[in-house]
Amino acid sequence: MNSRLPAGYNPVRPFRDPAAVKALLQRIESAVTRPWSIMEICGGQTHAIRRYGLDELLPDSIELIHGPGCPVCVTPAAKIDRAVELSLRPGFLLCTYGDMIRVPGSGDSLATAKARGGNLQSVYSALDALQLAREQPDREIVFFAIGFETTSPGHAQALQVAIDEEITNFSMLCSQVTVPAALTMLLGDDSHRIDGVLAAGHVCTITGSNEYHAIAERFRVPVVVTGFEPVDLLLGIADCIDQLEAGSYRVGNSYTRIAKDDGNPVARAALVRMFEPVDMEWRGIGVIPGSGLGLREEFAAYDAERKFQFESRIGSHDDQSGCISGQVLRGLATPERCPNFGQSCTPATPLGAPMVSAEGACAAYYQYARFE
């Protein structure tokens, strides 16, 4: 029988407790004997690390490398171009998450297209887009569905409701990606310098930690499921350092209160019912085989890319902006190494997605800038 949390339990505050942070830092410092590089996968973790200054509080011998876990950042320009194209089409309304709106495609962003008369609605949930489809039956409502495994089950659920209610003016432009395929690509690259991995805690609420065993084994790296509060991050780093110092490479879980080892089976079943793995381009990185989740053939009527014709073509677009997002997303360069950082590229005038998104590494470095 599961015990109950005490009345007045605060699910956040204890995990920001300064005394616990201090104790964990001491614990890590006493365990580490040589330099290690640890990649945090999720951009939300990158932001928390910069916000709380954890990278500066940790011993110098521990380097945190920022990973590709920012769905807005990896959405290919070609998909944004198609979203822009639909938003400019009479009778259409393009809906997506707020983060996506200012990211440039190969030309326009959705925001600049709106300034030219595009129809755009920022939504908090796929269900909000579905509600717009109910309210405006004469309009084609297209939901630009971006996200990792955390977000895609909600898309699957919204689609199930659309099917059940026979809502025919609702479709999805899918740019959904999965973590393990990307992690396999990063660790398979000979130039990587990743000793250990902090897996994204909220992705693992859905997938569980089980699918990381094969990766830890194959590449001989510890993988630790890690949360987002300072204490959670340090618990994950401590587990990773303990394993590295001992020469072991297991899948650990430092976020057990939220991410179960088998994840959320109901959400995974929803994913499998609606989506199938597809090859997907990651912006700045290239095509990663099997790393995307596309709608199954039987749901083609709800797939914007099958339902509508497009002028813009899918294919690799050369990025002429000078943005080095691909290197940043693979952990090969820090934002500060980019000559455009804070100069021609700022959150108000972004050259690339990592400066726009609330999970982008460049935005984290800009927002939590330090003066030396």
Partner 1 sequence: MCLAVPGKLIEIISAPGASRLGRVDFDGIIKTADLSLLPDVHVGDYLVVHAGFAIAEISADEALATLALLAELAEFGEEP
Asked if 97 and 121 touch (Cβ cutoff 8 Å), the reply is no
The window from 84-92, 125-133, 167-175, 304-312 that contacts partner 1 (CB under 8 A) reads 125-133
Please identify which residue in the block is written with the tokens 């984290």: 364
Number of residues near partner 1 (by CB under 8 A): 59
The window from 56-64, 65-73, 300-308, 342-350 that contacts partner 1 (CB under 8 A) reads 65-73
Which one, 19 or 348, has the nearer CB to partner 1? 19
Q: Which of 39, 40, 44, 317 binds partner 1 (CB under 8 A)?
A: 44
Residue in 20, 84, 79, 76 with CA at minimum distance from that of residue 52 = 20
Asked if 291 and 182 touch (Cβ cutoff 8 Å), the reply is yes
For residues 117 and 112, give the distance between their C-alpha atoms in angstroms, rounded to a whole number. 9
Q: Which of 16, 20, 307, 368 binds partner 1 (CB under 8 A)?
A: 20
Cα-based torsion angle of the residue sequence 360, 362, 363, 368 in order, rounded to the nearest 10 degrees? 120
Minimal distance, residue 6 CB to partner 1, in Å: 9
Q: Which of 105, 153, 196, 284 binds partner 1 (CB under 8 A)?
A: 153
**Tokens read off for 299:** 């749901």
**Tokens read off for 212:** 């990381």
Residue 205 binds partner 1, judged by CB under 8 A: yes
Residue 126 binds partner 1, judged by CB under 8 A: yes
* Residues 336-355 close enough to bind partner 1 by CB under 8 A: none
**Tokens read off for 19:** 């005394």
Residue 133 binds partner 1, judged by CB under 8 A: no
Minimal distance, residue 89 CB to partner 1, in Å: 26
Residue 70 binds partner 1, judged by CB under 8 A: yes
- Region class of 286: left (phi > 0), else alpha (psi between -120 and 50), else beta: left
Which one, 4 or 34, has the nearer CB to partner 1? 4
Q: For residue 371, count other CB atoms closer than 10 A to its CB.
A: 3
Reported as type and span, the H/E element at residue 184 is helix 179-188
Backbone angles phi, psi at 357, to 5 degrees: -70, 145
Which one, 52 or 340, has the nearer CB to partner 1? 52
Question: Which residue ranges make up the site for partner 1 (CB under 8 A)?
Answer: 2-5, 9-12, 14, 17, 19-20, 22-24, 26-27, 42-44, 69-72, 97, 99, 124-128, 146-148, 150-151, 153-154, 157, 161, 200, 202-203, 205-206, 231, 235, 256-260, 264, 266-267, 270, 357-359
